[in-house]
Amino acid sequence: MKKITVLFLSALTITMTSSAAFAQQQDSDFSAKQRQEIGKIAADYLRKHPQILVQVSQELQKQQQQQQQQQMVSAAVQSSSNLMDVKGIPHIGPKNAKVTVTEFFDYQCYYCHHMAPVIEKLMKANPKVQFIFRDWPIFASRWENSARAATVGLQVWHDKGAASYIKYHNGIFATNHDEGKLTQTDIKTVAKAAMGKTLKLAKDDAYKNTIMKNDALARQIGFQGTPGFIVMPAKGANAENTAVIGGAVPLQALQQAIDNAKK
């Protein structure tokens, strides 16, 4: 309710500011008394028809969202070379793929868990697309295993490659232990199943550096949470063939973005 009220006030301020500017431009056409009457009529009308303020606030919010989306797409295009640099970053699919899907995710994110089976289906339906998985453990300050699961996953990738990594990645999500419920036992068990042996944890400094780079890239693009998806051509990305999608979305939305990036 507070957010709606703020939007109402913002819309009303814009309306009043525009009206004042218009009135100043019309000094030669309207007297002070006439301008006062016009303002009274407008105020009375708004009081009798408050739904107009709702419509104005909704339109303002829509415009702000569109502007933010355009800014994120522009940032993604500008960051395309960094997004395509997958050294040390888990990725599945052909190296010469024409289209890429990048996901910024957190193993403790509820919505990432919700999207995991969707991404599995998307990968099976698009074998010629490269899927890039960028760990962004934004909940690590709240739940330690958010970061631990990320660094273990990166080590699985480094030690055993794509096949073992995707088993680990999907295995963590298959536990359905999100929002603080993931345990160290979960991580060790899933890692062992993915690698075929008990994982011996190495120094994770390099993996932490990778996560820090992911964090900087996600913030540069403008993501405010996980999951965050970027669908774009591996080469020749522009505002028309690039999509930036935040949050949980239907499979069809991601597939449409992939189809658009192929054009």
CA dist., res. 178 & res. 146, Å (int)? 9
Q: Which residues contact 237 (CB under 8 A, 6 or more apart)?
A: 76, 77, 80
Return the pLDDT at 44. Answer: 75
Helices (H), 28-103: 32-48, 51-78, 80-84
Query: CA 180, 182, 185, 190: dihedral to nearest 10 degrees?
Result: -160
Residue 80 to residues 84, 216, 239: CA-CA distances in angstroms?
6, 14, 11
Return the pLDDT at 30. Answer: 77
CA dist., res. 120 & res. 1, Å (int)? 38
Give me the tens of pLDDT residue by residue for the chain, a chain 263 residues long: 444 444 444 444 444 444 444 445 545 577 887 778 787 787 777 677 677 666 666 665 555 566 667 999 999 999 999 999 999 999 999 999 999 999 999 999 999 999 999 999 999 999 999 999 999 999 999 999 999 999 999 999 999 999 999 999 999 999 999 999 999 999 999 999 999 998 887 777 889 999 999 999 999 999 999 999 999 999 999 999 999 999 999 999 999 999 999 99
Local structure of 228: helix, strand or coil: strand
CA dist., res. 179 & res. 143, Å (int)? 8
Query: CA 249, 252, 258, 263: dihedral to nearest 10 degrees?
Result: -130
CA dist., res. 139 & res. 185, Å (int)? 19
Give domain 80-262's CATH architecture: 3-Layer(aba) Sandwich (3.40)
Return the pLDDT at 40. Answer: 78
- Number of H-type helices and E-type strands within the chain: 10, 5
CA dist., res. 149 & res. 159, Å (int)? 15
CA dist., res. 232 & res. 44, Å (int)? 51
Buried b (16+ CB within 10 A) or exposed e, 188-226: eebbeebbeeebeeeebeebeebbeebbebbeebbbebb
CA dist., res. 221 & res. 79, Å (int)? 8
CA dist., res. 147 & res. 153, Å (int)? 10
**Largest CA-CA distance found in the chain, in angstroms, rounded:** 87
Return the pLDDT at 48. Answer: 72
